[in-house]
Amino acid sequence: METLLGIAIGIGLSAACGFRVFIPLLIMNLMALGGYLHLSLEFAWIGSHYATVAFATATILEVVGYYVPWIDHLLDIVATPAAVIAGTIATASMIVDLPPFLKWTLSLIAGGGIAGLVQGSTSALRLKSSLSTGGGANPVISTLELVGSTVTALLAVLAPVVCLVLIGLFCFFVLLKAGRFIFRRTKFL
């Protein structure tokens, strides 16, 4: 049961990495320092005081960067692979009782996959916002992503099952929108 709970927390934190890369890592760090999260041994460094300084600095730079026009698009380019990596690490750090092959396979597919899906969705939303409003609505999108990352990361730690249900609904919505877009485009071919 503890392994399943760790996987659920890891996937929730990975989804939060798709909104913002460093906020979930900072929340993991603070929760581990407070004794609320137990990380696998090879990821104990996430719960160190040095990591607190690094994650807090990176979080501040990331949040501020997303409010600067055109820098937000550059950050999206960098954040997409970074979110997949952070999502993989977030899930792997929470899995303690599985063999390494299974742990890393699950972390890459579930953790990295959900982080990539969320990051891709937010990047597409930001692009659509930029095209339709000339970037004027991007600060609103940035604020929603900031809130989404924080709430998702906290929910992953405090109520992982609820978080998984919400992530499932989000994935369903994204796939539904993508399907509609694809089928609408193919009608004209």
C-alpha separations of 21 from 32, 85, 146, 153, 179 in Å? 18, 9, 10, 11, 27
Residue 185 confidence class, pLDDT cut points 50, 70, 90: low
Contact 130, 70 (CB under 8 A): no
Predicted model pTM: 0.88
Residue 186 confidence class, pLDDT cut points 50, 70, 90: low
State whether the Cα torsion 129-168-109-95 is positive or negative.
positive
pLDDT for the residue 157: 94
Does 30 or 124 have the greater pLDDT score? Answer: 30
pLDDT for the residue 43: 94
Percent with pLDDT over 70 in the chain: 96
pLDDT at 180 over 80: no
User: Can you tell me the distance from the alpha carbon of 122 to that of 126, in angstroms, rounded to the nearest whole number?
Assistant: 6
Average pLDDT on 67-81 reads: 85
Instruction: Read off the DSSP letter of residue 147.
Output: H
User: Can you tell me the distance from the alpha carbon of 176 to that of 134, in angstroms, rounded to the nearest whole number?
Assistant: 27
pLDDT for the residue 187: 61
